Copies of this chain bind each other. A is one copy, B any other.
Amino acid sequence: MKVTIKDLARLAGVSITTVSRALNGYKDVRPETRRKILELAKELHYRPSGIARSLVTKESKTLGLIISGFTGSRKGHHFMFDIIYGVIDQATECGYDVILAATSPHQQKAVPYMELCQRRQLDGVIFFGARRNDVYLHEIINASVPCVLIDVPIVSDRCSFVTVDNRKAARLAVDHLLLQGHRRIAMINGHQEAYVSEEREAGFREALKQADLDEPLIVYGDFEEESGREGAKKLLETNPDLTAIFCASDWMAMGAVNGLRDLGKRVPEEVSVIGFDDIELCRYVTPALTTIHQPRYELGSKAAKELVTLLRGEKGKGIVLEPELIIRNSTNWS
C-alpha cells in the first residue's frame, strides 16, 4: 500500500508533526531524529501527496497551458510544439507541473474559464491562440487566477504577456525588401481577429511611409496556405506591377509562391516573397523562404517564467522578444 506520513510517524516513533518538520527541512528537529526519519522515508519510498498538500497550502503547484483554436487546422505544429516544450521546461525548472488543455471558441461558451482553473486549482495559466472576440479573454482579465497571454499585449494586476515585437518584425521584412530595390510591395496579412495582425500591419505601413511609399496594398487571409495563394492572385490581378509580397505567415507565403507560379510569375526573379514565423519548412521548399524568425521555445519558456513571477506577487511587465530576419532565396532582385 501507499506509505503516508502517518506510517512514517508510527515507525519512527515520533509524531506526524515531527515527520513533517524533518521532511520539510525545518531547523528545530534533532539531527538524529531527522536522520532517522529521512532514512525511513527513503527506505519505504515515501512520496508526499501533492493533493493533500495542495488542500492545505492552497497551492497546486500546477500551471495550465490553454491552447485555443487549433481543433480544425493542423498546421500549427511547428509553432505549438516548441512553445509547449518551452513552457514545460521552464515550469519544471520552477517546480510546477503543467496541465495542457485545448479549447475552441465553441467550447469556451460551454466551460467557463474559471471552472477549468478552480476545478484543478491551477495556480496560474498561460493562454495561447486568443482571438479578439474570445470569450475567455474577457474572463481571464478580471479573473483571480494569474495569467500570461501569448501574443496579446495586456498587462494588469494579475496578467502579463509575452510576444515578439511584431511591428519591428514587419519593418525588418519590408526594409529588407526596400533595400533590395523593391518599390511596389504588398502585404498578405492574417485575419484581423489576431492581435499580431494589427501590429504587423502597422509595421508594414510604417516602413512604407518611411520610404515615402504610400497607398499600401493589403489583403487578408487566415494564416493558412490556401488563403496565401488566393491573396497573391487577387493582388496581382489588380496590381500587375507589384514586385514583392510580405506575408504574415510562412504558410501563406508558400501559398503565395504557388499562386504566383499559377500566374506564370517566377519567384524570386519576378516577384519576391517573404514569410513570417520561420517554420522548418522554409529551409526545404524551393525557393527556400526568406522569413522572420520567431523564437518559439523562448516564447514558451519566458511565458512560464513570467507567470511564476506573477505567482510570487510581483507585477508583470510584459515581455517583448526580438524577431530576426532570415534571408534565404525567395527574395532577390536580379
Interface residues of A (CB under 8 A from B): 2, 45, 47-52, 54-55, 60, 62, 65, 70, 74-78, 80-82, 84-85, 88-89, 92, 97-102, 112, 114-115, 118-121, 254, 280-281, 284-286, 297
Contacts and interface: CB of A to CB of B under 8 A. Distances in A.
A120 B81 contact: no
7 contacts: A2-B118, A48-B119, A78-B78, A89-B102, A97-B99, A254-B284, A280-B281
B81 A118 contact: no
Nearest to A48: B119
A89 B85 CA distance: 19
A97 B101 contact: yes
B84 A84 contact: yes
B281 A118 contact: no
A75 B98 CA distance: 22
Given A47-B118, A80-B81, A254-B284, A100 B100 contact: yes
Q: How many subunits of this chain does the assembly comprise?
A: 2
A297 B72 CA distance: 12
A52 B88 CA distance: 25
A49 B97 contact: no
Contacts of A85: 70, 74, 102
A55 B51 contact: yes
A192 B297 CA distance: 29
Contact of A50 (B2, B49, B121): B121
- In order of increasing CB-CB distance, the 10 nearest A-B pairs are A47-B118, A77-B81, A81-B81, A50-B119, A100-B100, A51-B54, A88-B102, A284-B285, A77-B77, A51-B121
A99 B92 CA distance: 12
A51 to B, nearest CB: 5
Nearest to A3: B118
Contact of A76 (B50, B81, B99, B284): B81
Contacts of A92: 101-102
Contacts of A284: 254, 281, 284-285
B99 A98 contact: yes
A316 to B, nearest CB: 23
Contacts of A118: 2, 47, 49
A187 B101 CA distance: 40
Contact of A101 (B54, B88, B120): B88
A52 B118 CA distance: 11
